[in-house]
C-alpha cells in the first residue's frame, strides 16, 4: 500500500472537522527549514471573521489527532494561521468570494505591454478571467493559461 503524503493525511484528518466548524482549508505545507520540520496549516472561514481563537481551536484539534494517530515519525512544529486579508488565489472559491474586488493579476507573458494587470475582478468563467483593467480603462478577458498568480488588494 502506498504511503500518503503528510499534507494529504492532514487534509483527511481536518476534512470533517472543518465541515462541522465552518472552516475552509487554504493550504497545507510540510517543509524543512534550517534542519527543522514545520507542518503549516492555513485556513479561513468563508463567511469571514477568522480569529486567533480559530487558529487555536484548529491547532488543538489537529495536535490531539496527530498525537493519537502518530503518523509523522520525525519531530516537527505545528503552525496554524490565516492566509490574511490579501491572499494569492488558490481555489475556485477565492474567485467567487472576491468577485467585484480589486486584484493584481500577474501574467506568464506580456499582454498589450503589461505583465501585471491591476483592476476589478468581474468574473471567472471556466478558464477565462474577466477583468476591468484600470490602466486601459477597458474590460478584458485573459485565459487562465496566461495567469501566473491572482491576488486580491485590501482596500481600507
Instruction: Give the integer Cα–Cα distance in Å for 70 and 66.
Output: 5
Of 51, 81, 111, which one is at a domain's C-terminal end? Answer: 81
Find the domain containing 64 and state its range: 6-81
Question: Do the beta carbons of residue 26 and residue 42 sit within 8 Å?
Answer: yes
Average confidence (pLDDT) over 4-25 = 94
**According to the model, what pLDDT value does residue 3 have?**
56
Phi, psi of 151 (to 5 degrees): -140, 135
- The SS3 call for residue 52 is helix
> Is 87 contained in some domain?
no
Of 81, 109, 138, which one is at a domain's C-terminal end? Answer: 81
Per-residue pLDDT tens over the stretch 122-148? 999 999 999 999 999 999 999 999 999
**According to the model, what pLDDT value does residue 111 have?**
87
Question: Do the beta carbons of residue 121 and residue 98 sit within 8 Å?
Answer: yes
Residue 106 CB coordination number (10 Å): 13
Amino acid at each position: 500500500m502506498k504511503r500518503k503524503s503528510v499534507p494529504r493525511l492532514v487534509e483527511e484528518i481536518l476534512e470533517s472537522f472543518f465541515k462541522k466548524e465552518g472552516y475552509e482549508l487554504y493550504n497545507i505545507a510540510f517543509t524543512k527549514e534550517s534542519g527543522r520540520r514545520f507542518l503549516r496549516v492555513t485556513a479561513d472561514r468563508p463567511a469571514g471573521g477568522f480569529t486567533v481563537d480559530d487558529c487555536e481551536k484548529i491547532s488543538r484539534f489537529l495536535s490531539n489527532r496527530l498525537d493519537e494517530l502518530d503518523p509523522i515519525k520525525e519531530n516537527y512544529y505545528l503552525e496554524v494561521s490565516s492566509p490574511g486579508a490579501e491572499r494569492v488565489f488558490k481555489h475556485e472559491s477565492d474567485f467567487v468570494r472576491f468577485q467585484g474586488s480589486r486584484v493584481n493579476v500577474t501574467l506568464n507573458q506580456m499582454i498589450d505591454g503589461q505583465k501585471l494587470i491591476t483592476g476589478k475582478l468581474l468574473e471567472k468563467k471556466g478558464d477565462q478571467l474577466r477583468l476591468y483593467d484600470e490602466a486601459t480603462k477597458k474590460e478584458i478577458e485573459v485565459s487562465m493559461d496566461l495567469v501566473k498568480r491572482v491576488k486580491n488588494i485590501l482596500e481600507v
